[in-house]
Structure 1
C-alpha cells in the first residue's frame, strides 16, 4: 500500500470515529460505553470543535460534525492524497 492509500484509509477511519462520536452523543453512555465515548471525544472534539465555532448548534441540531466529515472526505483528503502523489509517495 502506498502512503497516499494509507492516508486515504486513515482519513476514512477518522470519519468513522467522528460518526461513532456523534451517534454516542445522542444517548447517555454509561459504564464501558462512556469510556469509549470519552476517548472518541478526546480524539474527535479538537477537529469538530473548529467547525462548531464556525457553525454553532441550532437548537438541538449540531451540524458541525457532519460538516467536519464532509470537509475531511472531500477537501482535506483529496488535497493530501494529491500532494503525496505529486511528491511521489
Structure 2
C-alpha cells in the first residue's frame, strides 16, 4: 500500500512543478521576454497549457475576477498539497 502512496505523492509533486512552470512561462510570454513564434517555446507552452488547463478551468469559474491576476494555480497547488498531506496521514 505504501508503494501506491509514494507513486501518487510523486505524481502530485510533478504536477505541482508543471503548474509552476506553466505560470512562469505565461509571465515570460506576457512580458515579451520569450516569443511564442519560436517553435520550441510554442510546443512547451502548448504542452503545459493542455496539461494544466483542465484542472485550472473549474477553479477559474469559482474565483472572482481580479483583473490581470490569476490565482487559480495557487489555489490548485494548495489543494494538491492538502490532498498529499491527507494521503500520508490516512494512507499509512
Q: TM-score, normalised by structure 2?
A: 0.79
Q: Which runs of 5+ in 2 are unaligned?
A: 30-34
Aligned twin of 1:63 = 71
Q: CA RMSD in A?
A: 1.9
Q: How does 1:1-89 map to 2 (within 5 A)?
A: 2-28=3-29, 29-30=35-36, 31=38, 32-74=40-82, 76-81=83-88, 85=91
C-alpha displacement of 1:71? 0.6
Q: Deviations over 1:3-54 (max 9, x none)?
A: 1011101101000001111111112242211210100100000001111111
Instruction: With the length of structure 1 as denominator, give the TM-score of the two structures.
Output: 0.81
Q: Which runs of 5+ in 1 are unaligned?
A: none
Q: Secondary structure of 2:42's match? A: helix
- Hey, what's the Cα distance between the residues in 2 that align with 1:45 and 1:72? 15
